[in-house]
Structure 1
Amino acid sequence: MNVLGIDTRVTLFAGGLIFLLALILGIWKYRQMATSDNHLAHPYVDIAHRAALLYSFATMLVAVFVELSGWPTWVNLTAAMVLVFFFVIAIVEYIVHGARRDTTNQFEHATPALTAGMFALIVGEVGGFGVLLAGFVAGQLF
């Protein structure tokens, strides 16, 4: 007996996986803090950990909008997964910089690929959530 739609269940599962990733990243962060001379993790290890925590809760918020949206399941699932995709890509980029220890600011030497990626992220995240917010308005307010 599933009372939640498949779109909501998939989104909640994604949020749970991102939260699990955040917990694992917390272990990495702790290890770096415990073994470094200044007792700090690399900035991008710290950013990856914090971003994963925040994105996991953001994904749970997205799941609420998915569940309450008036749009068809495929629209909600697509919009939610666009958001999740960009959340995960951002976390992965932070992990890569933390593992490489190659920068403390990825925008210091921005490339056209980074600029294009940021533009896609902005469109994807704002657009994806805009679809879900409009679906909430259509389904719950009108």
Structure 2
Amino acid sequence: MVLGMDTKIVLLAAGLIFLLALLLGVWKYRQMATSPEHTAHPYVDIAHRTALLYSFATLLLAAFVTLSGWPWSVNLAAAGVMIFFFVAAIGTYVHHGRRRDTDNQFRHPVRGTSTFMASLVVGEIGGFAVLLVGFVRAQLL
């Protein structure tokens, strides 16, 4: 099977996010091994789990990109918006895990948190809706 460049880029992103998840797992393990409670900081745990889940979610995006009827640029833009927010969320969790500043980022949100969350919702749902419609258009109609 010959893959389009859009699919190859999304698959590369999935692989990189999975590699990040594995590295975050080492960080989580190190914290568990060295803490008196044998637990990692909540946001280190969240970062690790989220990266694992987002890596597989990105694989799902690659399947929809491959089967979409939209031009490669539309597919890549839709998937790219979602991947951006996946990585940004992981980055936020890593930031809080490294700083050990909170166990709930919404308890005392920083300026822009609500705007970021609204953008994330629109970007992720909108991006996937574009890919889903492209799939339906190409594969079911």
**Shared fold (TM-score, shorter chain, > 0.5):** yes
**Cα drift, residue 106 of structure 1:** 0.2
Q: Gapped runs of 5+ residues in structure 1?
A: none
Identity over aligned pairs, percent: 66
**Map 1:36-75 → 2, pairs under 5 A:** 36-75=35-74
**Cα drift, residue 109 of structure 1:** 1.0
TM superposition score normalised by structure 1? 0.98
AA at the equivalent of 1:47: I
Q: Does residue 27 of the first structure (1) align with residue 43 of the second (2)? A: no
SS of equivalent to 1:102 = coil
Q: Which moved more, 1:103-112 or 1:33-42?
A: 103-112
Corresponding residue of 1:10? 9
AA at the equivalent of 1:18: I
AA at the equivalent of 1:57: F
Distance 1:29 1:104 in 2: 15
Distance 1:63 1:22 in 2: 18
Distance 1:112 1:100 in 2: 18
Distance 1:111 1:97 in 2: 12
Moved over 3 A (4+): none
Distance 2:110 2:70 in 1: 38
Distance 2:16 2:109 in 1: 30
Distance 1:136 1:58 in 2: 16
SS of equivalent to 1:106 = coil
- Number of aligned residues: 141
Corresponding residue of 2:103? 104
AA at the equivalent of 2:101: D
Distance 1:59 1:72 in 2: 19
**Cα drift, residue 112 of structure 1:** 4.1
